[in-house]
């Protein structure tokens, strides 16, 4: 019988890659990189063989979708930030059976979901950035689930999360579940970016204060209260992908019945106006 052995909310900012290159950002994202590697080490210690990533950089407009190819290999350049992520090599094994099972389970529960095995369907950088660093500490098979949901509601994503858990428990896999996305996500307007040292600052003090309050709630295990504010938090603080990754995470963990105190493994930091962190959700 399979199980989700660890869960996490993770940043995927492109500056993590730039932090390892010569230039003005060199070394500045090391705490985020260290956080990814610590999460992978914890997952390895718990026997995880697969990572399921709910990716807020994979935009979808109808249904839910899973990238469940047997192997992911290629060269990635971001169409959003080609100056930040270019020619990124990747090569990971997938887990088609688990991706198919998640899709079937979600569809059976009333949320139409498709699983795909297509070599031409690339991974997005919400998956590729965490995997670049996590794979240094522990190699795992990868299943990527679209979590930039434009016409979906959080209750549907909650069901997808429940389907992830049910499919994992019916499998023989031990899984690290990752919600890949920021907290607040109001990127600096282009005209204001340089004047505000945008790479290292938050665009809204209101957003920063709400982010910090959310982290305090998570660390206290007050998830039931957080879920009551999730829709407005995602709306008013511009949650990345409307925070469907987070709804999927909580769906898998038991929604408002989940009460475990979380552990912040990367201190909160601003990036391009947004609020970022790495947080472990114990299972």
Domain-wise residue ranges, the chain: 3-281
Q: Which CATH superfamily is domain 3-281 in?
A: LigB-like (3.40.830.10)
Average pLDDT over residues 67-77: 97
pLDDT of residue 30: 98
Q: What is the pLDDT of residue 178?
A: 99
Task: Supply the pLDDT for residue 102.
Answer: 99
Residue 195: pLDDT band with limits 50, 70, 90:
confident
Please compute the mean of the pLDDT values over residues 53-58 and round it to a whole number: 98
Closest by CA position to 157, among listed 56, 272, 259, 32: 56
Summarised one tens digit per residue, pLDDT across range 119-140 is 999 999 999 999 999 999 999 9
Residue 221: left if φ>0, alpha if ψ -120 to 50, beta else—which one? left
| 52 closest CA partner among 212, 213, 164 | 164
Over 90: is that where the pLDDT of 198 sits? no
The lowest-confidence range among 33-47, 64-78, 185-199, 251-265 is 185-199
What integer is the mean pLDDT of 246-258?
98
Query: What is the per-residue pLDDT for 193?
Result: 87
């Amino acid at each position: 019988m399979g199980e989700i052995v660890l869960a996490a909310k993770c940043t995927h900012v492109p500056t993590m890659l730039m932090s390892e290159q010569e230039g003005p950002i060199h070394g500045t994202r090391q705490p985020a990189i260290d956080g990814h590697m610590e999460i992978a080490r914890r997952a390895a210690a718990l026997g995880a063989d697969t990572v399921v990533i709910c990716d807020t950089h994979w935009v979808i407009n109808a249904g839910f979708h899973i990238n469940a190819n047997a192997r992911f290999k290629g060269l990635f350049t971001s169409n959003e930030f080609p100056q930040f992520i270019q020619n990124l090599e990747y090569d990971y094994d997938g887990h088609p059976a688990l991706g198919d099972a998640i899709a079937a389970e979600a569809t059976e529960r009333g949320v139409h979901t498709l699983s795909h095995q297509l070599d031409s369907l690339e991974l997005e950088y919400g998956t590729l950035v965490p995997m670049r660093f996590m794979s240094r500490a522990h190699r795992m098979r990868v299943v990527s689930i679209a979590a930039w949901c434009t016409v979906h509601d959080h209750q549907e994503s909650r069901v997808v999360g429940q389907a992830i858990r049910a499919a994992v428990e019916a499998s023989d896999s031990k899984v690290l579940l990752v919600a890949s996305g920021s907290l607040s996500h109001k990127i600096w307007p282009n005209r204001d970016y340089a004047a505000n040292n945008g790479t290292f600052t938050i665009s809204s003090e209101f957003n920063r204060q709400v982010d910090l309050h959310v982290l305090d709630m998570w660390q206290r295990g007050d998830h039931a209260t957080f879920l009551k504010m999730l829709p407005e938090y995602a709306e008013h603080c511009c949650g990345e992908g409307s925070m469907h990754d987070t709804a999927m995470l909580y769906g898998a963990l038991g929604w408002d019945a989940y009460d475990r105190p979380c552990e912040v493994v990367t201190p909160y930091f601003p990036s391009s106006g947004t609020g970022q962190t790495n947080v472990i959700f114990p299972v």
